[in-house]
Structure formats: structure tokens, C-alpha cells
Amino acid sequence: MIKIVKSDKNLLEAEILDEDKHSIPNLLVKYLLKDDRVEYAGYRIPHPLVSYPRIIVRTKEGYSPIEVLKSVIERIINDVNNFEKAFLKALK
């Protein structure tokens, strides 16, 4: 689902291996930009017909972009689980 293209101390570039070109990268970027450890987050699609989206994360000094991305993914999963619980409760 994800392929690391470039990784160093404060920069991560990864391909999101999913046919839906915008949903996952857009969600990740929105959450990453809310994180104080992140200096830059964005994504691009090198070619819309043959490329997967590439997410780019640059963190502040002293923070690993991989660790920040992991914590953001955990936050997204938690928020989705809370939404599901609220939705199911509303159906009762």
C-alpha cells in the first residue's frame, strides 16, 4: 500500500499504492499539517494516467518523518473508529 521512495533525517517521500488517487493522500496531508512537528506536507501525482500519488513530509529538526507519519495514521484510525461508534449510536 505504501512504497518509500526517499527517506532521510527530516524528509520522507512515499508512493501511496492505491488506485484512488486522492482520498488517502489528501486525508494524510490534512492530518499532517495539523501536527506541530511537521514543516511541510503535500502530495503530487507525477502523471495522472500512470503514476501513484507521492506524499512528501518534511519535519522539524529532531523529529523522524516516519514516526510522525505513524502517529498521524494512528490518529486517523482512532478518529474513524470514534466516528463509527457515534454513527452506530445515532442509528439506535
Domain that holds residue 8: 2-91
Question: How many structural domains are present in the chain?
Answer: 1
Q: What is the mean pLDDT of the chain?
A: 95
Phi, psi of 6 (to 5 degrees): -150, 135
pLDDT in tens, 50-61: 789 999 999 999
Query: Looking at residue 19, which CATH number applies to its domain?
Result: 3.30.1360.10
pLDDT in tens, 31-46: 999 999 999 999 999 8
Contact 32, 72 (CB under 8 A): yes
- pLDDT category of residue 69 using cuts at 50, 70 and 90: very high
Q: Using alpha carbons, select from 4, 2, 11 the residue that is nearest to residue 32.
A: 11
